[in-house]
Amino acid sequence: MILLDGKALSKKIREYIKKEVSQLKQKGVIPGLAVILVGDNPASQLYVNMKTKACEDVGIYSINHRMPAEISENELISVIKMLNDNPMVHGILVQLPLPEHINEEKIIESIDYKKDIDGFHPYNIGRLVRGYPLYYSCTPYGIMKLFEEYNIELKGKDAVIVGAGNITGKPMASMLLNVNATVEICHVYTKELKEKTLNADIVISAVGKPNLITADMVKEGSIVIDVGISRVGDKVVGDVDFENVSKKVSHITPVPGGVGPMTIAMLLYNTLKAVNTNKGF
């Protein structure tokens, strides 16, 4: 069994970004990322802190906008518009989820697609689906980088994605399809989940439910990617029963230290890319 070490690969990517950023600085360009956090969801606060710290580490200038949960949709949109027009800001990240009274779609659409380093804007999703992407969403992008690093061939493979969310499941399906994998997406209404996962060469679980994927559900020698993050007592666990599943598969990601650090590395990577995307702005 080979452990897909996201911690190690993310470190390598971050070192590359650090070098690129220092070269840009010599030319007088400082990559800038605006990070917007609405409300005080503790998990979101933790993620945002990790993201801004990662920016600091590689020399990306991050601008934090923390807003109260009561902020109106229009107020939030006007902050985003200001950031769209600010040439020091190359990327804009609005941490999700947003409070209930704010329409997530409206907010995402208000971000200039050239600054949408999360790859959530319909323009970017549309380009991904059509097969000529501008920005890839960070979590599935990180997973694709792990496949690349470990020379995992995807063409013709049967991939089953568990979880059909906008952040991971849906963009992941497009990325795998674009490299000619056969993709099936499962969700809460899927009948006989086990029947699907048991036949898959690759299982990617992005649900957030501990022990959802057990050893009897995966094929011998298959590849398992665990995107779930849940807290059980004082431990952070994924969707996969790692102890037993790892005995059966050829490759698996750990939680923590698998997909999580890759998401942050790809956010930095997209922010670096945004410097070129916004040129001539």
Q: Does 96 bind ligand GUN (CB under 6 A)?
A: yes
Q: Does 118 bind ligand GUN (CB under 6 A)?
A: yes
> Which is nearer to ligand GUN, 167 or 200 (by Cβ)?
167
Minimum CB–partner distance for residue 43 and ligand GUN (Å): 8
Q: Which amino acid is at 193?
A: L
Q: Does 167 bind ligand GUN (CB under 6 A)?
A: yes
Q: Does 93 bind ligand GUN (CB under 6 A)?
A: yes
Q: How many CB atoms lie within 10 A of CB 5?
A: 18
- Record the tokens describing residue 196, joined without a space: 């699907």
Q: Which residues of 101-118 are buried (b: 16+ CB within 10 A; e: fewer)?
A: ebeeeebbbbbbbbbbbb
Q: Tell me if residue 118 is catalytic.
A: yes
Q: Does 139 bind ligand GUN (CB under 6 A)?
A: yes
Minimum CB–partner distance for residue 120 and ligand GUN (Å): 7
CA distances from 83 to 86, 91, 111, 135 (A): 5, 9, 9, 18
The number of C-alpha atoms within 13 Å of 223 and in the hemisphere containing its C-beta is 20
Q: What does R_g of the chain's alpha carbons equal in angstroms?
A: 19
Q: Does 76 bind ligand GUN (CB under 6 A)?
A: no
Binders of ligand GUN among residues 235 to 274 (CB under 6 A) are 263
Q: Does 229 bind ligand GUN (CB under 6 A)?
A: no
Q: Tell me if residue 12 is catalytic.
A: no
Number of H helices, E strands in the chain: 10, 11
Q: Does 95 bind ligand GUN (CB under 6 A)?
A: yes
Q: Does 94 bind ligand GUN (CB under 6 A)?
A: yes
Q: Which residues of 211-222 are buried (b: 16+ CB within 10 A; e: fewer)?
A: bbbeeebbbeeb
> Which is nearer to ligand GUN, 62 or 263 (by Cβ)?
263
Q: Tell me if residue 51 is catalytic.
A: yes
Q: Does 207 bind ligand GUN (CB under 6 A)?
A: no
Q: Among 5, 112, 116, 118, which one carries the catalytic annotation?
A: 118
How many whole angstroms separate alpha carbon 109 and alpha carbon 173?
A: 22
Residues known to be catalytic = 51, 95, 118
Report the interface residues with ligand GUN, using CB under 6 A.
Answer: 93-96, 118, 138-139, 167, 263
